[in-house]
Amino acid sequence: MVNPVKIGGVETFSTVDFPDKIAAVVFMQGCPWRCPFCHNAFLQDGSAADNFIWENFIKFLNTRRGILDGVVFSGGEPLMQNGLSSAIREVREMGFLIGLHTGGYRPQHLAEVLPLVDWVGFDIKAPLSEEKYKIAIGGVNHLKEVKESLHLLLESKVDFECRTTCDPRILTIADIYAIADELAAAGVKKYFLQKYRPVESDKTTSDADCEQFFLDAGLTDHLRKIFPVFDVRR
């Protein structure tokens, strides 16, 4: 059987990747971006060999009916894979809820899978300006696609959150204000700040550098005011 999607790895039990749900996470191999804060660099190469056979994942899910609520398609970037919707359909037909983690690459593909998805975790990497976004995703200009995907989510009835990893090497507190104000004005209701944990090559960023975003009461108070749901993940 041919794999509908290329899998880089599987987490069999997670309570943190799909809000209020117990889920398995399937990590799609391949990502068009090179975020400096990426902890999943091994998933970036779309031409790498499969680490996991789809059929085996389905067999595993068969043993988890009634134990897991859902399955999260994460990455890498799931929208890179043309077989994503057929993979999601197969899991959905087994009775599992579907979560999707994405940065919004390929909005046309997002439009195709959105009707099959119960929740989306949408990564916003930087203020929505070409220059800043390009730095945050490693040098490519995909801001138009990100904005289109955000628009699709806002127009859909699908539950979603936006979240930003606060890498102090590329984002300032002023940047977080800019991101949040733009998202709130667009109609985003749920926003989360995630702590950056230095990648192996980063020998200079201190914990205090990473914490500064969460210790700024002016910023966190502002975010609590403008979003019905706001929290930090550290």
Give the residue, chosen from 8, 18, 29, 44, that forms a contact with ligand SF4 under the rule CB under 6 A: 44
Q: Please select the residue that binds ligand SF4; options are 8, 103, 121, 127, rule is CB under 6 A.
A: 103
- Nearest distance, CB of residue 183 and ligand SF4, angstroms: 18
List, in order, residues 6 or more apart from 122 with CB less than 8 Å away: 102, 103, 104, 149, 150, 153, 160, 161, 162, 163
Decide: is 133 part of the binding site for ligand SF4 (CB under 6 A): no
Beta strands in 5-127 (DSSP E): 7-14, 23-28, 70-74, 97-102, 119-123
Report, in Å, the least distance between residue 12 CB and ligand SF4: 20
- Round to whole Å and give the CA distance between 129 and 51: 36
- Of residues 3, 12, 14, 40, which one binds ligand SF4 by CB under 6 A? 40
Segment 55 to 84, residues that bind ligand SF4, using CB under 6 A: 75-77
What is the number of other CB atoms lying within 10 angstroms of the CB of residue 84? 23
Options 35, 84, 98, 219; binder of ligand SF4; rule CB under 6 A: 35
Cβ distance to ligand SF4 smaller for residue 4 or 75: 75
- CA quadruple 147, 149, 150, 155: dihedral positive or negative? positive
Binding site for ligand SF4 (CB under 6 A): 31, 33-35, 38, 40, 43-44, 75-77, 103
